[in-house]
Amino acid sequence: MKARPFLAGVLALVAWLAFSIGLRPLTLPEEGRYVGVAWEMLRSGDWIVPTQDGLPFFHKPPLFYWITAASMQLFGPNAAAARLAPLIGAVLGALGLVWFVRRHAGEVLALWTLPVLATLPFFFGGAQFANLDMLVAGFVALTVVLAADAALALETGEPHRRSLVGAWACAALGVLAKGLIGLVLPGLVLVLWLLITRRPRTILRLISPLGLLVFAVIAAPWFFAVQARYPTFAHYFFVYQHFERFAATGFNNVQPWWFFFAAVPALALPWSLWALRSAWLSSKGLSAAAVGGPTHPLHPLRVLMWTWLLGILVFFSIPQSKPVGYSMPVLFPIAFLAADALHAAWHNGRVAPRRLVQASFAVALLICLGAAIGSALTYDRDNTKLARVLLKERAEGDPVVFVGEYFFDIPLHARLKSPVPVTSDWRDPKIVLRDNWRRELAEAAPFTPELASTLLVDAPRGFALRCGTKPLWAVVKVDAEGTVAAVPGATRVAESNRGVLWRIAPASCAASAGAASTAAR
C-alpha cells in the first residue's frame, strides 16, 4: 500500500475505534478492577508490583497496567485514558493482519479485510473495554501473522529473520499482557497449521536462538524482579493462576462446552455469516481470492485462518470457566474469511450480491453505533458520582472505609492516595468458593500479611477509624447501610446507583491509637 492511503487508513481506524472510548463510565467490576490497579501503580510510583487496595495483585502481568498508568499520567485519570491499552492492542493486531493479507493474498483483499474487522461488533467493543483481552489478542494476532510470514518465506528462500524475531518479540509482549497464553495460543495455532499442511520440519526452524533471546530479554526481567521480592510468586502465578485455574471449578462464567461456538458467531454478526459462506465458496472453488484446492499457493493461508479460528475456540472450550473475552483472538481470522466471501460477492457481476454486501456493512455499523450509544445512556452500576462527592467533601487525611464491599472505581475517581480498609467476615471459609473481590483480596493477604491485617478488617475495627479528631467516610451498598446508620454520629451524605456515602462524626474512644494508623490519607 502507498504511504498516504495507508496512513489515512490507520487514522480512520483509530478515529473509528476511539470516537466513543470515553462516552461511558468504567463498568464494574471488570474495568474498575484493572484500571484501579493501574491507578494504584501510578499513585504509589511502584511500577513493578501491581496492587489492588494496596495488596499485591498477581493475577496477571503488568503490561496493561503500565500502558494504562502512563496514559492516565499523560491525559488524566478518566475513562478515555483508561482504555488506551485495548485500543493499542486492536490497532496493532488489525495492522498486522492487513499487512499479512496484503503480502500473501493481495492488496484488494487486504482493503476488504480492514473495514470488516473494524466494524465487527465484538472487535469494536473489545477495543474500548479496559481489560486485558484485546491487548493480548492483538499480540497473539501479531505473533501468528509474523511467524506465518516467516514460515512461508523459509519455504521459498526469501528473507525471514525480521518476521521471525518480530514474532518472538510479540509473543513476549503477549506474555507480559496476560501470561503464558501469549505464547501458548500462537504456538498452538502455528504448530497445528504446519502439521495439517504437512510441513513439520518448519516448526523446528521457527525456534530461533535469536528469537528466544529477544523473547527472554523482553519477558523475563519483570518475573525475576517480582520473584526476588516475593518467593512464593512463581508458584502462585504459574501453577495456581494458569494450570490450576484452567482445570478447576468455582470461577466466573461457567458455561457448557459449546458456549464459544454459539457466543462468538452471535457477537460477530453479520460477518460470522460471511465467514461461513467463505468455507462454502472455498469448497466449490469460487473464492474471489482464489484460495481453492490444496494445490493452490494460497491454500495454506486459508488453512491457517481456519486453524486459528477453530483451534483457539476448542482450546478455551475445555475449562468450565469461559469468559467471552478470552475468544477475542479469533476475530482476526473471522475478518479475513468474511472479507474473502464479500470480495467474491462484490465481483460476481450481479446486483443482488452487491446490495447484500452493502446491507451487511450497514447492519454492522448500526450494531456498533447502537451498542456504543446504548451502553453510554443506560449503564448505571458505576460509583462515579458518589466518588466525586467524596472528593469534594472529604478533607485531606480523613479516613475512609468500605463496608461489606470493595468499590473498585472510587479510589480512582475520589483520588484516594492510600489503600482503603474493607470490612467483611474475612474468616469465612466460603470465600475461596467464589471468584469475586473477597477472594482476590484474601488470596493477596499472604504476600503482605501485616498490611493485610490493617486493610481486611471486621466491622468494629472499620468503624473504629472514627476514633480521633477526623470524621470517617463510609461507603456501603443501599441494602446494607443499616450497619452504618446504627453508628453514633452517622449522617447520610449521598446516594448513587445503589451505593451510599456516609459521614461519621469523630469520637474519642480507646481504639483511636490503633485505628489512626490505617486511615486513608
Residue 481 and residue 398 share a domain? yes
pLDDT digits (tens, 9 = 90+) for 184-233: 999 999 999 999 999 999 999 999 999 999 999 999 999 999 999 999 99
Give the domain-ending residue among 355, 377, 399: 377
Residue 162 has pLDDT above 50, yes or no: yes
pLDDT of residue 253: 75
Backbone angles phi, psi at 130, to 5 degrees: -80, 70
Q: Are 467 and 509 in contact (CB under 8 A)?
A: yes
Residue 469 and residue 349 share a domain? no
Backbone angles phi, psi at 460, to 5 degrees: -60, -40
Here the cell at position 283 is 469448497
More confident residue, 282 or 241: 241
Cα–Cα distance, 251 to 64 (Å, whole number) = 22
Centroid of chain to Cα 32: 12
Q: What stretch of H or E contains 359?
A: helix 351-378
Cβ contacts of 369 within 8 Å, gap of 6 or more: none
pLDDT digits (tens, 9 = 90+) for 260-316: 999 999 999 999 999 998 877 666 654 544 444 444 455 678 899 999 999 999 999
As to burial, measured by CB atoms within 10 angstroms (0-12 exposed, 13-18 middle, 19+ buried), residue 297 is: exposed
Q: What is the CB-side half-sphere exposure of residue 502 using CA atoms within 13 A?
A: 26
Q: In this structure, is residue 58 part of a structural domain?
A: no
Predicted TM-score (pTM) above 0.95 = no
pLDDT of residue 34: 97
Q: Give all strands (DSSP E) within 70-216, no chain letters.
A: none
Q: In this structure, is residue 464 part of a structural domain?
A: yes
Where helices occur in 430-500 by DSSP H, the ranges are: 437-444, 449-455, 459-463, 482-485
Residue 163 and residue 186 share a domain? yes
pLDDT of residue 281: 66
Q: In this structure, is residue 280 part of a structural domain?
A: yes
Give the domain-ending residue among 349, 377, 405: 377
Length of the chain: 521
Residue 368 has pLDDT above 80, yes or no: yes
pLDDT of residue 170: 98
Q: In this structure, is residue 243 part of a structural domain?
A: no
Residue 338 has pLDDT above 70, yes or no: yes
Radius of gyration, alpha carbons of the chain = 25
Q: In this structure, is residue 28 part of a structural domain?
A: no
Pairing of strands 422-423, 456-457: parallel
| Reduced DSSP (H G I as helix, E B as strand, rest coil) percent helix, strand, coil of the chain, to 5 | 65, 5, 30
Task: Provide the residue range defining the domain that includes 443.
Answer: 384-516
Q: What stretch of H or E contains 499?
A: strand 499-504
Least confident of 36-45, 89-98, 291-300, 307-316: 291-300
pLDDT of residue 10: 83
Centroid of chain to Cα 292: 36
Residue 311 and residue 269 share a domain? yes
Q: In this structure, is residue 240 part of a structural domain?
A: no
Residue 269 and residue 146 share a domain? yes
Indicate the SS3 state at residue 24: coil
For residue 66, the one-letter residue type is W
What is the number of domains present in the chain?
2
Residue 417 and residue 292 share a domain? no
Q: In this structure, is residue 265 part of a structural domain?
A: yes
Q: What is the CB-side half-sphere exposure of residue 511 using CA atoms within 13 A?
A: 13
Q: In this structure, is residue 29 part of a structural domain?
A: no
Handedness of CA 199, 141, 65, 367 (dihedral sign): negative
Q: What is the CB-side half-sphere exposure of residue 258 using CA atoms within 13 A?
A: 2
As to burial, measured by CB atoms within 10 angstroms (0-12 exposed, 13-18 middle, 19+ buried), residue 340 is: buried
Give the closest residue to 169 by CA, choosing from 69, 92, 249, 260. Answer: 92
Task: Count the helices and strands in the chain (H runs, E runs).
Answer: 26, 8
Backbone angles phi, psi at 426, to 5 degrees: -75, -5
Residue 513 has pLDDT above 50, yes or no: no
Residue 361 and residue 390 share a domain? no
Residue 415 and residue 332 share a domain? no
Give the domain-ending residue among 358, 377, 396: 377
Q: Apex CA 29: angle with CA 28 and CA 33, to 5°?
A: 115
Provide the Cα torsion 360, 363, 364, 368; round to 10°.
170
Centroid of chain to Cα 334: 19
pLDDT of residue 51: 97
pLDDT of residue 321: 86
Phi/psi region, residue 497 (left: phi>0; alpha: psi -120 to 50; beta: rest), is left
pLDDT of residue 295: 46
Residue 310 and residue 458 share a domain? no
Residue 329 and residue 186 share a domain? yes
For residue 24, the one-letter residue type is R
Residue 276 and residue 221 share a domain? yes
Write down the mean pLDDT value for the chain: 90
Averaged pLDDT for residues 242-253: 66
Residue 412 and residue 338 share a domain? no
Averaged pLDDT for residues 125-130: 96
Residue 496 has pLDDT above 60, yes or no: yes
Give the closest residue to 413 by CA, choosing from 393, 395, 387. Answer: 387
Cα–Cα distance, 39 to 44 (Å, whole number) = 8
pLDDT of residue 241: 81
Averaged pLDDT for residues 51-57: 97
